[in-house]
Copies of this chain bind each other. A is one copy, B any other.
Amino acid sequence: MSARKPTLALIGATGAVGTVMRDIISSREDVYGEIKLVASARSAGKVLQVRGEDLVVQELTPEVFDGVDIAIFDVPDEVSATWVPIAAERGAVVIDKSGTFRMDPDVPLVVPEVNPEAARNRPRNIISTPNCTTLSMMAAMGALHEQYGLRELVVASYQAVSGAGVAGSARLYDEVEALAGDRTVGQTAGDVRKAIQNKLGDDESPFPAPVAFNVVPWAGSLKDGGWASEELKLRNESRKILGIDDLKVSATCVRVPVITTHSLAVHARFEREITVADAHRILEAAPTVVVMDDPAAGVFPTPADVVGTDPTYVGRIRQALDFPNTLDLFVCGDNLRKGAALNAAEIAELVAAEFAG
């Protein structure tokens, strides 16, 4: 392949992740030739900016992929199911953010810090990027796994509403506006629900319960055994990314009233004894991880303090008192950046480097 700058297409350019994706592409090293913005017919014709250029959003058609080298898809699962194979057959290397192909054995699931080599082995011309909850901890857990051998994960999530897209953020802003100023709300059963209903009527929420002044232990769709799809993704995707087929994982996924940045409380058992000092050393050396762990000085990561930035933040690292070879820790990562757009952009850069080669 002669060296050239590949043509990039962003499919789903107008969504929550698409917006962040345009920012990220604009602020990182420019490794692309032409860039195309693509969306549904409803959004086609809009003018949006990338790299300081005004671009007209094109409608998603088979022909839009002509001449495209790399296509990043951020669209619902069913749209990916139809359109990703079309783009891949027309010759684009597809980086797909949906859940559709993640567990396909012929599709690599890539976190560039953890398994970059997997991106080169793509028989279907498709590379998947993980669920945002899984991604929130992967850079950190991958670094620890490499040296100490991860065996078990028990995870509880504190997931931001923008994980459900633009509608998720809008809903939390709406609910907070509906409830603000009432200093009795949240004190009797159902009062939050009733106050929201009074102000917002039957506006549809992407969540199955109020999310303001509340936490909601549900994310995704119902699977066997009462598991939520998001919880099984965290298990199955962690196994595939880390290459540990028998990794033991239990997760409980909970939505919290945070706009953006997922947090995870992680209980992680390793093959070998690992101290807090070991974990600090490894995580401080990991290029995309930031350790915020000095509780005596009030230093630990919170979503409000790290949102909008790229790294995975780790704090509250403790050696479990009763479990051998086990750490308890708290991780925060921006679900729209590392959790979605940034990881896809990093994969695209891995592929773009092949064109430069």
Query: Would you give the shortest CB distance from A307 to chain B, in whole angstroms?
Result: 6
Q: Which B residues are CB-close (under 8 A) to A176? A: 176, 179-180, 213
Number of identical monomers bound together in the oligomeric complex:
2
Please measure, in the bound complex, the distance between the C-alpha atom of A225 and the C-alpha atom of B180, giving whole angstroms: 39
Interchain CB contact (< 8 A) of A252 among B152, B258, B265, B305? B265
CB-based nearest B residue for A190? B305
Pairs A–B under 8 Å by Cβ, sample size 14 = A152-B322, A176-B176, A176-B179, A176-B180, A189-B304, A189-B309, A209-B298, A210-B304, A213-B258, A213-B303, A214-B303, A218-B300, A222-B295, A254-B265
Hey, which chain B residues are within 8 Å of A214, CB to CB? Answer: 258, 302-304
- Given A213-B304, A254-B158, A276-B226, check contact A322 B249 (CB 8 Å): yes
Q: Does A339 contact B (CB under 8 A)?
A: no
Residues of B within 8 A of A158 (CB): 158, 215, 254, 256
Partner of A330 from the list B187, B254, B304, B328 (CB cut-off 8 Å) is B254
Say yes or no: is A164 at the interface (Cβ < 8 Å to chain B). no
Report the minimal beta-carbon distance from A259 to chain B, rounded to whole angstroms.
Answer: 3
Residues of B within 8 A of A257 (CB): 213, 256-257
* Assembled-state Cα–Cα distance A139/B226 (Å): 22
In angstroms, how far is the closest chain B Cβ from the Cβ of A189?
5
* A183 and B173 within 8 A (CB): yes
A58 at the interface (CB under 8 A from B): no
Report which residue of A152, A215, A295, A315 has the largest number of chain B beta carbons within 10 angstroms of its beta carbon: A215
CB distance from A309 to the nearest CB of B (A): 5
Q: 1/0 contact trace for A283-314 toward B, CB 8 Å?
A: 00000000001011010111111111100000
A187, B307: Cβ atoms closer than 8 Å: yes
Say yes or no: is A192 at the interface (Cβ < 8 Å to chain B). Answer: yes
Question: In the assembly, what is the distance between CA of A189 and CA of B306, in Å?
Answer: 5
Q: Nearest CB to that of A178 among chain B residues?
A: B180
Determine whether the beta carbon of B259 is less than 8 Å from that of A316. no
A188 at the interface (CB under 8 A from B): yes
- Shortest CB–CB separation between residue A13 and chain B, in angstroms? 19
* Shortest beta-carbon distance from A121 to chain B in Å: 27
Taken residue by residue from 256 to 279, chain A's Cβ proximity to chain B (1 for < 8 Å, 0 otherwise) reads as: 111110010101000000001000
Judge if A186 is at the interface, Cβ distance under 8 Å. yes
Given contacts A307-B188, A322-B250, contact A302 B179 (CB under 8 A): no
B248 A316 Cβ-Cβ under 8 A: no
